[in-house]
Structure 1
């Protein structure tokens, strides 16, 4: 019994794998770059924007949680499965929003790093 529906996860997996690959390439470039260029800051912004889109799709999808999980937790906490399903949904939304906020902060931090490393600005 998995927590997340495998069909929902499988539909998002190709996009996630592509973003992970691009993220590895950008991270390796960041490691060897002596300073942040405008191109690197824009690339970092675009990859973070794509992550925000993917996380938003993941969080908005109502079929992401398997109903068996809600029934399992309902039996443990002696509540109705509908109550547990709603609470688990809010936890996923909270985690997704926290991830989106930190990703947005990282995207704009890249532009600040570029401004600090570029003496012409």
Structure 2
């Protein structure tokens, strides 16, 4: 089981350590399931409810990061100063690492997705 060191600039002053443990995998699964539940109802929601749903997703992401990285209240509060996209990128990276992907695999997947996306926009 690998120890993974991670730091969110502007939020943390030191590297946090988390593991590719079953405990953290369960937390990642629970996070993903809660997001899937919210997204599955998206079409049924009013505009106002969709806005509130996005806010709820952000809160779930912040709670997940705070739990895995063992952030204190001040650090957790600083996460709210990041953009939704930045928070999502941190969450996605950590989930992928917990699920066993290496930095190299994550980078390759991101490059592949970017190429596919740019290929779609060129057509």
The TM-score with structure 1 as length reference comes to 0.37
Bigger Rg, which one? 1
Q: Judging by fraction of residues, say which structure has more helix.
A: 1
The TM-score with structure 2 as length reference comes to 0.37
Q: Judging by fraction of residues, say which structure has more strand.
A: 2
Q: Choose between structure 1 and 2 for higher RCO, CA contacts under 8 A separated by at least 6 residues.
A: 1
